[in-house]
Chains A and B, each alone.
Chain A
Amino acid sequence: GENVEQHPSTLSVQEGDSAVIKCTYSDSASNYFPWYKQELGKGPQLIIDIRSNVGEKKDQRIAVTLNKTAKHFSLHITETQPEDSAVYFCAASIVVAGGTSYGKLTFGQGTILTVHP
């Protein structure tokens, strides 16, 4: 089955710096890669995702890149703010063309991001 490794487990940055979280996956058939942000006491929130037909996707201060050959993908947060402090999870799954069938999500171990004011 799929295995997703996530690094680092903790990341501490100063406000305004950039943060990068990296994940690798084992199943070359995986083609859908979402990222979740989980704040203390809340459920995970989908913040961005990427499918394997693109190499990069941006949404304001966050971006995700995908390298299919190396089987890794990364989350980039620029101009970090204290409210970015949370646990971030990457995940991988298989989506059949047309979205009519999909495998279960396999999650990474999580990264605790702390942004210091």
Chain B
Amino acid sequence: SAVISQKPSRDICQRGTSLTIQCQVDSQVTMMFWYRQQPGQSLTLIATANQGSEATYESGFVIDKFPISRPNLTFSTLTVSNMSPEDSSIYLCSVRPGTGSFKPYEQYFGPGTRLTVT
């Protein structure tokens, strides 16, 4: 399985500011995703991060609010822009190794970034 790290692990931010979360994988992966998990809730997909092109966003999520970059096959960033208290959540990076892996369809998650907006 892939080893995924996220930075920062947690942060407390003021409303109106922005935070960029980094996701680093120890091997090249085909697919990278960003999820949000609100307190006590399930996982909601924000977007699929595409290498070298714009991310694919799910309904209810827009690029202006959650810009995503993916410059290569091992790294991605998610920015939470113009934050409000409603953005307080855990943000999770997730990967699928993809073609060339023994089980290309398996999906793994990073440790998460715990964001509190005051």
Query: Which residues of A are at the interface with B, using a C-beta cutoff of 8 A?
Result: 32, 34, 36, 41-46, 49, 89, 93, 95, 99-100, 102, 104-105, 107-110
Contacts and interface: CB of A to CB of B under 8 A. Distances in A.
Interface string B77-118: 000000000000000100010010001111111111010000
A100 B98 CA distance: 7
Interface residues of B, number: 22
Contact of A43 (B42, B105, B112): B112
Nearest to B58: A104
Contact of B42 (A32, A93, A99, A107): A107
Interface of B: 1, 4, 33, 41-43, 45, 48, 92, 96, 99, 103-112, 114
B96 A43 contact: no
Contacts of B33: 104
Contacts of A99: 99, 103-105
A42 B107 contact: no
Closest 10 CB pairs of A and B: A43-B109, A99-B104, A95-B105, A44-B109, A43-B111, A43-B112, A107-B42, A102-B105, A107-B43, A99-B105
